[in-house]
Amino acid sequence: MTKTDTSIRAGAAGSASDPTTLEELERKATARRDRPSYGHDALIACDRLVRIFTTDGVEVQALQGLDLLVKEGELMALVGASGSGKSTLMNILAGLDVPTAGAARVAGADLLAMDGKARLRYRREVVGFVWQQTARNLLPYLTAAQNVALPMQLKGRAKHKAERAEELLAMLGIADARDRRPHQLSGGQQQRVAIAVALANNPAVLLADEPTGELDSATGEQVFAAFRRANEELGTTIVIVTHDQAVASEVRRTVAIRDGRTSSEVLRRTEVDEQGKESLVAREYAMLDRAGRLQLPADYTQALGMEHRVALELEQDHIGVWPDDAEA
């Protein structure tokens, strides 16, 4: 039996085999209705997110049906080539930009349906943001402690704000920077103050777009440690866009974006061998979208000369993908 035969038979089996009773159909319909909606238990749920920019009549599809689920308490990295849509996604999650189509929910907020007032509250209370440009994160004429206290003041939570500012600065290892203004701080210290500012109102999600992009690797490491601290101590869910391989390899989950879609992800877990030695084991996964589409890595398909059409074979515990042998 050839592989192509198998794939055709497998395809026919679902529709023509075993006569279906009415009872069975009803049971299936009920199961479908009762199935929880996509991403119901995720803190961040992006469902077929589309963002099209039009400049002078020219369209750019920055996001082309992006799916992403992030659980509460995760610390994850987002990587991808320049122009792949990372910042576009971050701006949408930050409530600064609105998607063209699709659905996006963060901590119960519907990012497409929010009115101006809800959006303002969302930006102040639900998300915190750290930008790449150190100068953009802090007000130059305020001290570190005053910068951290400001968002609390805007929210109207003036009580205990000085105390909380000190606590946050201490937690991130920059208590001694308290009374200094941004120009009296190093780039790495400024970014850690920026994390404290972003955490001031205890947001559900902390977003950072290339937060270590302007720093050398040792300083970047310290800034990343501050994110980790916030994640561990406060349980804040954190999404970091990064080009920094060191950062990407230190988180448990790294999602890659390609052409405006999530294309693959690397999960890392700690394994302990028989001698009790710990090591981090990484495994790469491809994303299967809700329509069943799968992107195969280019080096895999090229190695086997696969293009246009492949044969599929359903096995007990995996699916085989074979080069097209119909012509042979």
Cα separation, 103 vs 67, in Å, equals 9
Q: Would you say the C-alpha torsion 25, 27, 33, 38 has a positive or negative sign?
A: negative
| Contact positions with ligand ATP (CB under 6 A) in 85-104 | 85-88
Select 259 or 324, whichever has its Cβ closest to Mg ion: 259
Among Mg ion, ligand ATP, none, partner that 285 touches (CB below 5 to 8 angstroms by kind): none
Cβ 46 to ligand ATP, closest distance in Å?
A: 14
Among Mg ion, ligand ATP, none, partner that 84 touches (CB below 5 to 8 angstroms by kind): ligand ATP
Residue 276: both structure tokens together: 């009790």
DSSP per-residue string spanning 56-87:
TTEEEEEEEEEEEEE-TT-EEEEE--TTSSHH
Cα separation, 219 vs 190, in Å, equals 11
Per DSSP bridges, beta strands 237-241 and 75-79 are parallel
Among Mg ion, ligand ATP, none, partner that 270 touches (CB below 5 to 8 angstroms by kind): none
Cβ 245 to Mg ion, closest distance in Å?
A: 17
Among Mg ion, ligand ATP, none, partner that 85 touches (CB below 5 to 8 angstroms by kind): ligand ATP
Select 84 or 147, whichever has its Cβ closest to ligand ATP: 84
Select 83 or 235, whichever has its Cβ closest to ligand ATP: 83
| Geometric angle at alpha carbon 280, from 279 and 283, rounded to 5° | 135
CB 262 within 8 A of CB 78: no
Select 87 or 189, whichever has its Cβ closest to Mg ion: 87
Q: Does 87 bind Mg ion (CB under 5 A)?
A: yes
Q: Does 53 bind ligand ATP (CB under 6 A)?
A: yes
Cα separation, 24 vs 9, in Å, equals 23
Cβ 159 to ligand ATP, closest distance in Å?
A: 39
**Of 82, 275, 279, 316, which lies in the binding site for ligand ATP, with binding defined by CB under 6 A?**
82
- Which residue stretch of 27-35, 42-50, 81-89, 169-177 sits at the interface with ligand ATP (rule: CB under 6 A)? 81-89
Select 62 or 104, whichever has its Cβ closest to Mg ion: 62
* Rounded (10°) CA dihedral 161, 129, 123, 176: 10
Select 39 or 85, whichever has its Cβ closest to ligand ATP: 85
Cα separation, 126 vs 121, in Å, equals 7
- Which residue stretch of 54-62, 137-145, 165-173, 313-321 sits at the interface with ligand ATP (rule: CB under 6 A)? 54-62
Q: Which residues pair with 64 in a beta bridge?
A: 50
Helices (H), the chain: 3-16, 22-34, 86-93, 116-121, 134-137, 144-155, 161-171, 187-199, 217-234, 245-248, 298-303
Residue ranges binding ligand ATP (CB under 6 A): 53, 55, 60, 62, 80, 82-88
Residue ranges binding Mg ion (CB under 5 A): 87
